[in-house]
């Protein structure tokens, strides 16, 4: 079983392996280029290397630390949701979304990565929060999700990946070491501009400060969801440790240092955070922080008391944000259990996802 991940091994480790096998140094460049080719999924597909070298490298390095267990397509083929299996049998979700070119915008392919298996923050409306934290993802597991998603997009005639968002399962800044390392790999080696990467946080103040210290101009998205401490303590429990005032000050300093406008994410939940008082509070906070607001109407989850507001209530809420910069984001993949952790939770509940991360074959009805 190989112990080292190829995507994060670095040039020196690859060179060292090649030298031990009596291979020229220039092969390292060949291998490093292949890591980021979406049509290469295994050492066996690196036909420019001879078979013995391919086998030796496969013994030493894991070509990828994630394998795709299930692939679901939604939004007329524009969203691909992957259930990614990790070496220890844990599973995480990764989503790839294609946005076709518009009259004033270019085509983009965005990959949403998970940073943890589960999450300790425990937001009550979130399927991942209900799992609790099982473990952090490694740097390679974060990076390899982007590679797996690039492969899925390529197979469907889409891509290449242009944007990355850390908005999947987990709190990226509670796993700051791996998150920051993965940013370094993706920007330096995969060639994704830091300006096209967004890290979302529920408000981990020390993590925001660590992100600022990297001086990478990534966008910071703050999962706000409530404009008062009273409501946010309930919806985003980390608020009890890092209350609104402290988080907003830290986020504003991040915006100043990075030169990047921050965004406020607001999952609009019917009867919970859709009041006029919350809308006006959100508008004022956004104006003060010069933040962009992304409103995401909540997905309806079967059996859950949490859901989207009535259309009229949503219209009034959005009307009260007039004057602020607002985007209403579509809930991509609504027909593929797209809310974070939902696909995994659904497969587990239906006993299709086994505890070791493999999938049960679909049941074949018994013959009469
Ligand atoms: S919404 Fe984000 S921070 Fe909150 S429990 Fe879910 S994954 Fe964790």
Has 340 been annotated as catalytic?
yes
Is residue 171 within 6 Å of ligand 1 at its C-beta? yes
SS3 (DSSP) at 295:
strand
- pLDDT per residue over 37-70, tens digit each? 999 999 999 999 999 999 999 999 999 999 999 9
In a domain, 355, yes or no: no
| Separation CA 230–CA 217 (nearest Å) | 32
CATH number at residue 345: 3.20.20.70
CB of 121 closer than 6 A to ligand 1? yes
Q: Is the CB of 224 under 6 A from ligand 1?
A: no
Say yes or no to pLDDT of 361 above 70.
Answer: no
By alpha-carbon position, which residue is closest to atom 7 of ligand 1? 170
pLDDT-based confidence at 111, cuts 50/70/90?
very high
pLDDT at res. 357: 55
Res. 314 pLDDT band, cuts 50 70 90: very high
- For 191, other C-beta atoms within 10 Å of its C-beta total 10
Residue 104: what pLDDT? 80
So what's the pLDDT on residue 274? 97
Q: Do 36 and 135 have their domain in common?
A: no
Q: Is 133 in the pocket of ligand 1 (CB under 6 A)?
A: no
pLDDT for res 362:
42
Let me know whether 42 and 161 are in one domain.
no
Distance 152 CA to ligand 1 centre (A): 25
Final residue belonging to a domain, choices 43, 62, 81: 62
- Residue 140 has what pLDDT? 98
d(CA 358, CA 218): 35
As a whole number of angstroms, the longest Cα–Cα distance in the chain is 70
Q: How confident is the model at residue 207 (pLDDT cuts 50, 70, 90)?
A: very high
Question: pLDDT tens digit string along 81-104?
Answer: 999 999 999 999 999 999 988 888
Distance between CA 94 and CA 75 in Å, rounded?
16
Q: Give the CATH number of the domain where residue 40 resides.
A: 1.10.150
Residue 134: pLDDT over 90: yes
Mean pLDDT, residues 224-237? 98
Mean pLDDT of 171-193: 97
SS3 61: strand
pLDDT at position 365 is 42
Q: What is the mean pLDDT of residues 217-245?
A: 98
Cα–Cα distance measured from residue 165 to residue 223, given in angstroms and rounded to the nearest whole number? 13
Per the structure, how many domains does the chain have? 2
- pLDDT of residue 237 exceeding 90: yes
Ligand 1 binding pocket includes 131 (Cβ within 6 Å)? no
Helix, strand, coil tally for the chain in percent (to 5): 40, 20, 40
- Residue 331: pLDDT band by 50, 70, 90 thresholds? low
Q: What is the pLDDT of residue 75?
A: 86
Average pLDDT, rounded, for the chain: 90
Of 62, 82, 103, which residue sits at a domain end? 62
Residue 129 CA to ligand 1 center (angstroms) comes to 5
Tokens of 20: 């031990």
* Same structural domain, 58 and 86: no
124 and 20 part of one domain? no
Is the pLDDT reported for residue 366 higher than 70?
Answer: no
pLDDT of residue 351: 52
Query: Taking 90 as the threshold, does the pLDDT of residue 320 lie above it?
Result: yes
Regarding whether 236 and 292 lie in a shared domain, the answer is: yes
Burial class (CB in 10 A: 0-12, 13-18, 19+), 24: exposed
Q: Which domain holds residue 183?
A: 66-349
> Ligand 1 centre and the CA of 164: distance in Å?
18
- The neighbour count for residue 86, using CB atoms within 10 Å, is 19
Mean pLDDT value across residues 159-183: 97
Tokens representing residue 122 in the block:
């425990």
For ligand 1, is residue 128 a contact (CB within 6 Å)?
yes
Distance CA 340, CA 351 (A): 19
pLDDT at residue 336, as a whole number: 47
Tokens 């019917």 belong to residue: 270
The pLDDT value given to residue 341: 57
Look at residue 170 and tell me if it is in a domain. yes
The one catalytic residue in 119, 123, 126, 340 is 340
Based on the domain organization, do 158 and 278 belong to the same domain?
Answer: yes
Q: What are phi and psi of 265, to 5 degrees?
A: -95, 135
Output Rg (C-alpha) for the chain, integer angstroms. Answer: 21
Are 123 and 186 contained in the same domain?
Answer: yes
Same domain, 55 and 151: no
pLDDT of residue 368: 37
- Cα 300 to Cα 205: distance, rounded to the nearest angstrom: 31
Residue 366 lies in a domain: no
Q: 53 and 128, same structural domain?
A: no
Burial class (CB in 10 A: 0-12, 13-18, 19+), 334: middle
Q: Does residue 262 sit within a domain?
A: yes
* Predicted local confidence at residue 322, as pLDDT: 93
Asked if the model's pLDDT at residue 334 lies above 70, the reply is no
User: Distance (Å, rounded) from C-alpha 136 to C-alpha 173?
Assistant: 11
Give the position of tokens 């009890």: 240
Shared domain for 342 and 226, answered yes or no, is: yes
Is the pLDDT at 209 greater than 70? The verdict is yes
Residues 162 and 201 placed together within one structural domain of the fold:
yes
Q: State the pLDDT at residue 352.
A: 52
105 CA from centroid of ligand 1 (Å): 30
pLDDT category at 80 given cuts 50, 70, 90 is very high
- As to burial, measured by CB atoms within 10 angstroms (0-12 exposed, 13-18 middle, 19+ buried), residue 120 is middle
348 band by pLDDT with thresholds 50, 70 and 90: low
Catalytic residue among 23, 60, 93, 265: 93
> Active site includes 126?
no
Residue closest by Cα to atom 4 of ligand 1: 123
Instruction: Please determine, for residue 142, whether its predicted confidence score (pLDDT) is greater than 50.
Output: yes
Is residue 227 located within the same domain as residue 293?
Answer: yes
CA of 128 to the centre of ligand 1 (A): 6
Q: Is the pLDDT of residue 32 over 50?
A: yes
Does residue 359 fall inside a structural domain? no
Please report whether residue 363 resides in a domain.
no
């Amino acid at each position: 079983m190989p112990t080292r991940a190829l995507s994060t091994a670095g040039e020196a480790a690859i060179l060292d392996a090649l030298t031990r096998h009596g291979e020229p140094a220039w092969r390292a460049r060949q291998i490093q280029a292949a890591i980021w080719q979406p049509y290469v999924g295994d050492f066996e597909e690196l036909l420019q290397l001879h078979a013995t070298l391919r086998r030796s490298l496969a013994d030493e390095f894991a070509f990828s630390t994630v394998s795709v267990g299930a692939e679901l397509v939604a939004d007329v083929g524009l969203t691909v949701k992957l259930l990614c299996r990790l070496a220890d049998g844990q599973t995480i979700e990764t989503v790839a979304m294609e946005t076709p070119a518009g009259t004033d915008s270019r085509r983009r392919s965005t990959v949403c990565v998970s940073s943890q298996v589960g999450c300790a923050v425990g937001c009550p409306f979130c399927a991942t929060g209900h799992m609790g934290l099982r473990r952090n993802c490694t740097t390679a597991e974060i990076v390899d999700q982007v590679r797996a998603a690039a492969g899925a997009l390529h197979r469907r005639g889409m891509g290449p990946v242009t944007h990355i968002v850390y908005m999947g399962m987990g709190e990226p800044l509670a796993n700051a070491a791996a998150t920051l390392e993965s940013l370094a790999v993706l920007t330096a080696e995969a060639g994704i501009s830091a300006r096209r990467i967004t890290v979302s946080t529920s408000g981990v103040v020390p993590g925001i400060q660590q992100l600022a210290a990297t001086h990478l101009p990534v966008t910071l998205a703050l999962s706000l969801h409530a404009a008062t401490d009273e409501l946010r303590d309930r919806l985003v429990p980390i608020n009890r440790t890092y209350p609104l005032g402290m988080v907003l000050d830290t986020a504003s300093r991040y915006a100043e240092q990075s030169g990047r406008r921050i965004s406020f994410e607001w999952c609009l939940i019917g009867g919970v955070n859709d009041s006029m008082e919350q809308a006006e509070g959100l508008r004022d906070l956004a104006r003060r922080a010069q933040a962009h607001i992304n409103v995401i109407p909540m997905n309806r989850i079967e059996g859950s008391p949490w859901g989207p507001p009535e259309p009229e209530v949503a219209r009034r809420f959005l009307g009260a944000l007039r004057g602020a910069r607002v985007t209403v984001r579509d809930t991509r993949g609504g027909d593929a259990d797209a809310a974070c952790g939902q696909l995994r939770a659904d497969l587990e509940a239906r006993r299709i996802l086994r505890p070791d991360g493999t999938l049960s074959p679909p049941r074949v009805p018994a013959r009469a």
